[in-house]
A and B are shown apart, each in its own frame.
Chain A
Amino acid sequence: MKTVFKRTPTIKDYPTHYCPGCGHGIAHRLIAEAIDELNIRHRTIGIAPVGCAVLAYNYFDVDMVEVAHGRAPAVATGMKRTNPDKIIFSYQGDGDLAAIGTAEIIHAAHRAEKITVIFINNAVFGMTGGQMAPTTVLGQVTATTPQGRTAASEGYPLQISELLAILPGAIYVERRALSSPGQVHKAKKAIKHAFELQVNSAPGLSLVELLSPCPTYWRMTPAEAMDWIEKEMTKVFPLGCLKDVSRDL
């Protein structure tokens, strides 16, 4: 029989702990493909966040560390500064990167750390039970916004990628979605580009934000969740390249 599709080597053969319809599996696969295509598996170190993806080392077959909530960019700084030849990436959710770790990501970008950040935005805290995240959209019902998020009470969704893109040290910032095969292809291209910049020692931080479905805490079917990303989330978090310094080089 002819094999038409198989695991990419950097993804381990391990039963998934993610919920049905979750976007993490897709994101993991795309990162692993990028690592394999760039042939950097043997010199890549990954950083797992606190959140649903804390167990990412069960899936990625690279050296990995698990760190305190939000501190991945600081840990990445310590790793990259002492190991400039290694490829360092952090994998962080919206609670991790846009709430408790806001200072760390802003300052890692501000210092132009030569690291790659994959930022998973699913508009909720997943692991703790679907509470409001900084990226929760207005009107969205979560465990801690039972009446829906209101600007008056909880403020506005935080567009942290836009904030980061204005910093000179952030050399590449792109937002993509995992909502359809076409979007997944574009996401893959962005992820690979982000890693490529680091491989080429480009002078700063590269970040790809991925709008990712959480059907469990959105109280939707997986198909409805994909739909909601395209119809609702992209209104607040428009897709596209926010910044790419390498284009101007």
Chain B
Amino acid sequence: MCGNEALAEAAIIAGCDAYFGYPITPQNEIPAYMSRRMPEEGRVFVQSESELAAINMVFGASATGKRAMTSSSSPGISLMQEGMSYLAGAELPAVVVNVMRGGPGLGNISPSQGDYFQATRGGGHGDYHTIVFGPSSVQELVDCMPLAFDLADQYRMTAVVLADGILGQMMEPIRLPSGPPRRFDGEKKPRRKPPPKDWALTGAKDRPQNIVRSLWLGEGVLEKLNYKLKAKYEQVEKSEVLCEQYKVDDADIVVVAYGIAARIVRGAVQKAREGGIKIGWIRPITLWPFPTEQISKAANEFRLFLTVELSNGQMLEDVKLAVAGKAPVLFYGRPGGGVPTVDEILDKIRQLSIPQKRPATKRRIKKQ
């Protein structure tokens, strides 16, 4: 199974009731797989006329309380931003998979991480966030699907799975969630039980009418909704950060990377360690909420930070915000579908001059 097919099967296991999508490379295996498997399971598959329609079909199914998802790649995800903003305003759960390709514009069909800004800053109009996963293996792609559905339901938000062309196409041995479903972090914790969907549109039988809406014209009403969303987002930031670290404690250099870039970085760091360089890595698994605390903590000891991305530097901004001037943050990236090799990153690491000590003249930032 390639990554695309594996995540599709994981979505079915996770309880996805309906899949809506429109063809675009490099994620075409997802709708193809779903078109076969969803009817087999007695569930819904519809090939939509556009990504605009696909996300609104998700909106419709979700408004009735069903678990719905769509998938696309970068240009298609741009078209979905309208619907994702409405999903946020109406507080509807949804799962959106973006198998990123090179951009801007039609770009190319090579792997990329160029949609980080779009994914982690909301993406559409208005003040909102989506939960964003940046898995770095086919197994993680599989494991994050049940969690994406559960978190989407729990917080009534969209969960975005930010994959890329390599992950989507790559074949790896995987373990599908079976028996007691595995949590994303590999623990054998039981899956969460999201609250009942008493807000869903199921027909106003023996209860007052339910309304799902995002228009609030009354004075101050929309402001209130936005404060409610903010409180929810703060809760997510507090509770749902996932990140992995490797040999950070004694490291002079910490590489920060996610997704397929982290996979390449892992090899480079391994080689650098073997060559005697004290180096480790931090790998955000959730990109929003971002592991700000973990990176900030690592920056309390003076060391070099190197961010590696398949872009011109997008997550770089979040790393800088987390480091908050406490240490230098450098960047290496390949945009537009370029993929660095392990040796390329290793060369970059070797070029770094490793600081021996924090300069004495620098003032320590006082704890608030």
CB distance from B281 to the nearest CB of A (A): 41
* Total cross-chain contacts (CB, 8 A): 130
Q: How far is the CA of A41 from the CA of B64 in the complex (A)?
A: 16
Verify A78–B52 contact, CB threshold 8 A: no
CB distance from A114 to the nearest CB of B (A): 13
Per-residue CB proximity of B59-78 to A under 8 Å, as 1/0?
Answer: 11111101010000000000
Q: How far is the CA of A68 from the CA of B89 in the complex (A)?
A: 11
Verify B211–A104 contact, CB threshold 8 A: no
Q: How far is the CA of A107 from the CA of B121 in the complex (A)?
A: 32
- The answer to whether residues A79 and B56 also contact, given A57-B209, A65-B212 and a CB cut-off of 8 A, is no
- The answer to whether residues A74 and B57 also contact, given A68-B82, A79-B63 and a CB cut-off of 8 A, is yes
CB neighbours of B62 from chain A (8 A)? 78
Verify A71–B18 contact, CB threshold 8 A: no
Per-residue CB proximity of A56-75 to B under 8 Å, as 1/0?
Answer: 01001111111110010011
Q: Which listed residue, A61, A63, A68, A104, touches B201 by the CB 8 Å rule?
A: A63
Per-residue CB proximity of A34-59 to B under 8 Å, as 1/0?
Answer: 00000001111100000000110100
CB neighbours of B57 from chain A (8 A)? 74-75, 77-78, 81
Contact residues, B71-109 vs A (CB, 8 A): 82-83, 86, 90
Q: How far is the CA of A107 from the CA of B22 in the complex (A)?
A: 13
Verify A66–B212 contact, CB threshold 8 A: yes
- Is B365 engaged at the interface, CB distance under 8 Å to the other chain? no
Q: Which residue of A lies closest to B213 (CB)?
A: A66
Verify A75–B215 contact, CB threshold 8 A: no
Verify A43–B203 contact, CB threshold 8 A: yes
Verify A103–B203 contact, CB threshold 8 A: no
- The answer to whether residues A63 and B18 also contact, given A75-B59, A82-B66, A104-B53 and a CB cut-off of 8 A, is no
Verify A81–B204 contact, CB threshold 8 A: no
- Is A83 engaged at the interface, CB distance under 8 Å to the other chain? yes
Verify A78–B58 contact, CB threshold 8 A: yes
CB neighbours of B52 from chain A (8 A)? 71, 74, 103-104
Q: How far is the CA of A155 from the CA of B273 in the complex (A)?
A: 70
CB neighbours of A65 from chain B (8 A)? 60, 63, 90, 201, 211-213
Q: Which residue of B lies closest to A79 (CB)?
A: B60
Verify B64–A42 contact, CB threshold 8 A: no
CB neighbours of B60 from chain A (8 A)? 65, 67, 74-79, 82
- The majority secondary structure among interface residues of chain A is helix
CB neighbours of B18 from chain A (8 A)? 78, 81-82
- Is A86 engaged at the interface, CB distance under 8 Å to the other chain? yes
- The answer to whether residues A81 and B50 also contact, given A42-B203, A43-B203, A67-B59 and a CB cut-off of 8 A, is no
Q: Which listed residue, B17, B206, B211, touches A57 by the CB 8 Å rule?
A: B211
Verify A78–B61 contact, CB threshold 8 A: yes
Q: How far is the CA of A108 from the CA of B94 in the complex (A)?
A: 22
Verify B44–A81 contact, CB threshold 8 A: yes
CB neighbours of A81 from chain B (8 A)? 18, 44, 46, 57, 61
- The answer to whether residues A78 and B203 also contact, given A64-B209, A68-B86, A86-B64 and a CB cut-off of 8 A, is no
Q: How far is the CA of A104 from the CA of B210 in the complex (A)?
A: 25
- Is B49 engaged at the interface, CB distance under 8 Å to the other chain? yes
Contact residues, B99-149 vs A (CB, 8 A): none
Verify A44–B44 contact, CB threshold 8 A: no
- Is B205 engaged at the interface, CB distance under 8 Å to the other chain? yes
Verify A63–B68 contact, CB threshold 8 A: no
Per-residue CB proximity of B5-39 to A under 8 Å, as 1/0?
Answer: 00000000000011010000000000000000000
CB neighbours of B64 from chain A (8 A)? 45, 78-79, 82-83, 86
Q: How far is the CA of A60 from the CA of B54 in the complex (A)?
A: 27
CB distance from B239 to the nearest CB of A (A): 29
Verify A79–B205 contact, CB threshold 8 A: no
Verify B201–A78 contact, CB threshold 8 A: no
Q: Which residue of B lies closest to A100 (CB)?
A: B52
Q: How far is the CA of A81 from the CA of B265 in the complex (A)?
A: 44
CB neighbours of A103 from chain B (8 A)? 49-50, 52-53
CB neighbours of B49 from chain A (8 A)? 103-104, 106-107, 110
7 more contacts with CB within 8 A, not counting A67-B56, A78-B60, A104-B52, are A61-B209, A63-B204, A65-B60, A65-B63, A71-B52, A77-B53, A103-B52
Q: When A and B form their complex, which 10 residue pairs have the shortest distance between CB atoms, in order from nearest?
A: A78-B60, A78-B57, A75-B60, A74-B56, A42-B205, A107-B49, A78-B61, A63-B201, A74-B53, A71-B56
A-B contact pairs, 10 of them (CB 8 A): A60-B209, A62-B209, A63-B210, A63-B211, A64-B210, A65-B60, A65-B63, A75-B63, A78-B63, A103-B50
